[in-house]
């Protein structure tokens, strides 16, 4: 069981890194790495917890798993926000919809209120 | 789990860590490098966990916790710096 978890974790880690190399812009790269690397690392931490059982080693690997699950989405969200705000060049010709287009400008300069 | 199997998996994860390092060096923009750094620190923690399992180096499990915390703090710090030009506010 632990061997299966280690194989799955290594496979997903490798897939995430290949996506980091191959994808065209920063949001695609983040999409590739964040989920797959979190899944791979969590599988391998779970394998360590299964191997060492109810001991300080197993409990520490469960703690690392919990911490990784808690912090990886927050970190990716912060990087995506910063990348959008500083206008990193994206592959705009292939982008279908951009719901945040002009939101920052509208928040900085709100339109006049209509009096009627 | 034979030791040969664990060595092979260690090689696979080490190769993916090297791929993250490549993106961190050549990444065209700063957020690319930060994404690569995040994946790099996670992969490094995975390498250390595999070393713990392979060689029974149970002392190294604390290194995993420190690597996870440092990766998260570094990512957050650079992201906040990019967005606001200031880390502590």
Burial class (CB in 10 A: 0-12, 13-18, 19+), B17: buried
Q: Which long-range contacts does B46-50 make (Cβ < 8 Å, 24+ apart)? A: B46/A9, B46/A13, B46/A40, B46/A41, B46/A44, B46/B13, B47/B10, B47/B13, B47/B14, B47/B17, B49/A44, B49/A45, B49/A48, B49/A61, B49/A64, B50/A6, B50/A44, B50/B6, B50/B9, B50/B10, B50/B13
The whole model's pTM is what? Answer: 0.87
| Distance from the B67 Cα atom to the nearest Cα atom in chain A, whole angstroms | 10
* Interval A5-32: pLDDT, tens: 999 999 999 999 999 999 888 888 999 9
* Interval A74-89: pLDDT, tens: 999 999 988 888 877 7
- Say which of A13, A21, A57 has its CB closest to residue B61: A57
| Distance from the A98 Cα atom to the nearest Cα atom in chain B, whole angstroms | 19
In percent, the amount of chain A with pLDDT more than 90 equals: 57
Mutation pick from A24, A32, A52, A78 vs chain B, by most beta carbons of B within 10 Å, is: A78
Round to whole Å and give the CA distance between B50 and B41. Answer: 14
Reply yes or no on whether the pLDDT at A67 is more than 90: yes
- pLDDT for the residue B84: 79
| Residue B31 domain-assigned (yes or no) | yes
Band of pLDDT at residue A92, cut at 50, 70 and 90: low
| Distance from the A96 Cα atom to the nearest Cα atom in chain B, whole angstroms | 22
Round to whole Å and give the CA distance between B39 and A16. Answer: 8
- Say which of A3, A17, A67 has its CB closest to residue B1: A3
| Residue B7 domain-assigned (yes or no) | yes
| Residue B89 domain-assigned (yes or no) | no
List the domain range (segments joined by +) for residue B64.
3-80
Q: How many domains does chain B have?
A: 1
| Residue B87 domain-assigned (yes or no) | no
- pLDDT for the residue A95: 72
| Residue B85 domain-assigned (yes or no) | no
Closest chain B residue to A85 measured between Cα atoms?
Answer: B83
Regions of chain B with pLDDT less than 70: 87, 89
């Amino acid at each position: 069981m632990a061997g299966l978890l280690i194989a799955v974790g290594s496979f997903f880690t490798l897939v995430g890194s290949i996506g980091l190399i191959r994808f065209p812009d920063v949001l695609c790269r983040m999409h590739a790495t964040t989920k797959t690397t979190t899944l791979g690392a969590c599988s391998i931490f779970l394998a360590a917890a299964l191997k060492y059982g109810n001991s300080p080693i197993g409990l520490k690997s469960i703690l690392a798993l919990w911490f990784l699950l808690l912090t990886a989405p927050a970190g990716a969200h912060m990087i995506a926000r910063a990348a959008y705000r500083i206008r990193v060049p994206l592959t705009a010709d292939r982008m279908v919809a951009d719901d945040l287009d002009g939101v920052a400008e509208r928040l900085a300069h709100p339109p006049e209120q209509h009096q009627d | 789990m034979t030791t040969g199997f664990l060595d092979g998996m260690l090689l696979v994860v080490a190769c993916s860590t090297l791929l993250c390092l490549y993106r961190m060096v050549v990444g065209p923009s700063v957020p690319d490098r930060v994404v690569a750094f995040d994946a790099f620190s996670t992969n490094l923690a995975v390498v250390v966990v595999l070393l713990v399992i392979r060689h029974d180096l149970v002392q190294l499990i604390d290194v995993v916790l420190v690597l996870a915390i440092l990766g998260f703090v570094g990512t957050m710090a650079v992201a906040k710096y990019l967005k606001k030009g200031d880390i502590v506010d």
